[in-house]
Amino acid sequence: MGKRRGFFAELNYQAQQTEKRRRQQEAAARRAHLAAQRQAERASKAYEREQAAAARASAVEKKAAEREAARLHVESRLAEVESMNANLAGDLADIDGLLAWALEMDDYVDLESLKISVVEHPPFAPGRLADPAPAVPKPDDVPEPVYEEPPAPGGLSAMLGGKKRHQQAVEKARTAFADAHHHWERARGAAHSSYVKKVAQRDKSEEKRVAELSAAEEKYKQECEKREAKASDHNAEVAKLINGLAFDVESAIQEYVGIVLSNSLYPEVFPIEHNHVFSLASRELSLEVSVPEPSSMSSVKAYRYVKAKDEITSTKLPVREKKERYANAVWQVAVRCLHEVFEADRAGKVHSIALAVGVDTVDTATGRPTTVPLVFVAAERETFNSFDLTKVVPQDTLGHLGAAMSKSPFDLLPADTSRGVRVRGH
C-alpha cells in the first residue's frame, strides 16, 4: 500500500492541540525528572565549589575539605542516577500507556476549525522610504550695501581746499560702494544658484523616494492579496472537503481519515507510521501501521551508582519483561488505531477496518527490506463501538475480534493468517 499524505493531513493545528493535552498528561513525570535534574546540577556545583575550596585550604583543613568534596561528589552522582531513572520510568510509562493516552481525548476533527478566519499580515515597513528629505534651508539674507555720501566741508574748511578733498572723498566712497555692491550681488547670486541647485537635487531625490515608496506599497499590497488569496483557496479546499464528506466522496473520506491519523501523536520512544486506503464500495478502511523494531526498545531496567568504582551502571530488563512490554505495546497500537478512526468518524462513513500492524525490518536471509506482520484484524464499527476500552486487555480484545496475532512480536514471528481474520467479532 503506497504512503499517502493528503493536503490537510499536513496541517498541524489539531496536532498542536493534541500535543498540548499530551504534555499536560506528562507534566507530573516531567516535574519529577526536572527536580532530580536540578538536584543533580546543585550537587555538581557544590562539589565543584568544595573541590576549589579544598585546593585553597591549609594542610589542616585540607582533609576535611576533601572529605566534604567526596561526599558532595557522591551526592552529585546519586542525583544524576535519580534523574536518569526518572527519565527511564517516564519512557516506560509512555509505552505502557499508549492506549490510555488515546482514550483521554476526543479524536474527532472539526474541519471548520481548519479554516483561516483571520489572515495575519506583517505591518508595512518602508524603512527609510517613509522619511521625506528635509527641506533645503534658504540662504541667509545679507544686507544690501547702502551708499553714504561723505559730509561736505563748510566754513573756513571749504575755503582752505576742503571742496577738493571732499570731491576726492566722494569719488572714493562711490568707488568703494560700487565694489561692495558688486560683491554683494555676486554673493547673492551664488547663494541663490546654490540654493536652486540643492532644491533641484532634493526634488529629484524626493521624486525617486516617492516612486520607491509607491512601489514598496504596491508590493506589500500584492503580498497581502496573495496571502488573502491563499487563505481563500485554503478555505475553499476545506469547504470542498466538508462538502465531499457530506456527499460520501471517497477521496474526501480518505482525506479526513488522513487528518485523524496525522493527529495521532505517539511518544518519541515509540513512533509509528500509518498508511491507509478507503473503499467506498465496501465502506472499509484498509489500514497499515508500522511500529518500531524490538531492538529500538530500551533494555535498561534501572541505573545505579557504584561508589567503589565511581561509575554509573545499569541493570538489564529481564528478557521476559522486554517481550511482554513490546507485545503489549503492539496490541495497544492495534486497538488504539481502531478506536481513533471509529471515534473520529462521527458520521459513520467507515463501516469496517481491516488493520495490519507490522515491523519494517531487514530480512536476514536476503538482506532486503521486508515487513513482518504482527497483527491482522478486521473490526466492524458497531461491534467495536460497543466495547468499553477503559476496562479491556488489548490482547483479549484482539482475540475477541478474531485477530491473527504473532506468538512473539519481540522475536518478529509473523502472525498466522492462514485461517483468516473475519471469524469472530461481527
Instruction: Provide mean pLDDT across the span 229-245.
Output: 95
Question: For the segment 285-335, what is each residue's pLDDT rounded down to a tens digit?
Answer: 999 999 999 999 889 999 999 999 999 999 999 999 999 999 999 999 999
**pLDDT bracket for residue 164 (50, 70, 90):** confident
CA 113, CA 121: separation in Å to the nearest integer?
Answer: 20
CA 24, CA 21: separation in Å to the nearest integer?
Answer: 5
Q: What is the pLDDT of residue 147?
A: 87
* C-alpha dihedral (80, 82, 86, 92), degrees to nearest 10: 100
pLDDT over 60 at 5, yes or no: no
Nearest to 415 by CA among 336, 340, 356: 356
> Which contiguous run of DSSP H or E holds residue 26?
helix 13-56
Q: What share of the chain is helix, strand, coil (3-state, %, to 5)?
A: 60, 10, 30
CA 210, CA 218: separation in Å to the nearest integer?
Answer: 12
Nearest to 78 by CA among 29, 28, 44, 46: 44
Question: What CA–CA distances, in Å, run from 343 to 16, 108, 306, 338, 346?
Answer: 19, 7, 50, 8, 6
Q: What is the pLDDT of residue 70?
A: 84
Question: For the segment 372-405, what is each residue's pLDDT rounded down to a tens digit?
Answer: 999 999 999 999 999 999 999 999 999 999 999 9
